A and B are shown apart, each in its own frame.
Chain A
């Protein structure tokens, strides 16, 4: 398996623009997670899905952030409108159904909002 795939790897945009980050989880994994990593706040869980259904979105910072998972092999995290404070590395991870299982992380998308 190719592992968790994220695109783009780097994104530079201007404040106010819409940003869409994409993730393809490992085939057969039931859970998908979106994280944000910054120097100030570390690694934060934004939202996670089970079988394409959002389970916990309490980490989503505000209404400008939204996430969808239309099918088992694809998820998006959208920021509209983007702000400079959204600059971070965004990771997608997936895992099997058992809470004992580890999460497999993608390479991340480095977002810079000017």
Chain B
């Protein structure tokens, strides 16, 4: 069965420091991996995705994520955090072999960036 784990409920970081939001996954085949962000009272917004190719994926707002097949991880990173990055972040996975369009979301990690 597909699953996604975001081991941290909350990540705190000072503005200007690098940030990492962790995600590990479990699928039977090769995954499509996504990161979404949710601001208060809003729907989820797409940040970036891994489909194939280069393991380092660059996305919106300066975010990037690294696909690590051996560790089954897809951690979200940003070199220098902004206060405006404070939001709820979701990792999501689709099993390209069996899952079709069914997307499994992690529980979410709340990022708090302090000025």
Contacts and interface: CB of A to CB of B under 8 A. Distances in A.
Given A43-B105, A102-B34, A4 B43 contact: yes
B80 to A, nearest CB: 25
B101 A95 contact: yes
Contacts of A50: 101
A43 B108 contact: yes
B107 interface: yes
A55 B100 CA distance: 10
Interface of B: 32, 34, 36, 41-46, 49, 51, 90, 94, 96, 99-108
A18 interface: no
Given A48-B102, A56-B102, A106-B43, A99 B34 contact: no
Q: Chain A: interface residue count, which band?
A: 20 to 34
Interface of A: 4, 31, 33, 42-43, 45, 48, 50, 55-56, 91, 93, 95, 99-100, 102-108
Chain B interface secondary structure, helix, strand, loop or mixed?
Answer: loop
**Cβ-closest 3 pairs across A and B:** A105-B43, A102-B46, A43-B105
Given A55-B100, A103-B44, A107-B42, 8 more contacts: A33-B101, A33-B103, A42-B105, A91-B44, A100-B32, A100-B49, A103-B103, A105-B45
B102 A100 contact: no
A18 to B, nearest CB: 24
A102 B105 contact: no
Contacts of B106: 42
Contacts of B94: 99
B90 A43 contact: yes
B32 A99 contact: yes
A56 to B, nearest CB: 6
A108 B101 contact: no
**Residue of B32, B99, B102, B107 ringed by the most chain A CB atoms within 10 A:** B102
Nearest to A97: B101
Given A48-B101, A48-B102, A103-B103, A42 B43 contact: no
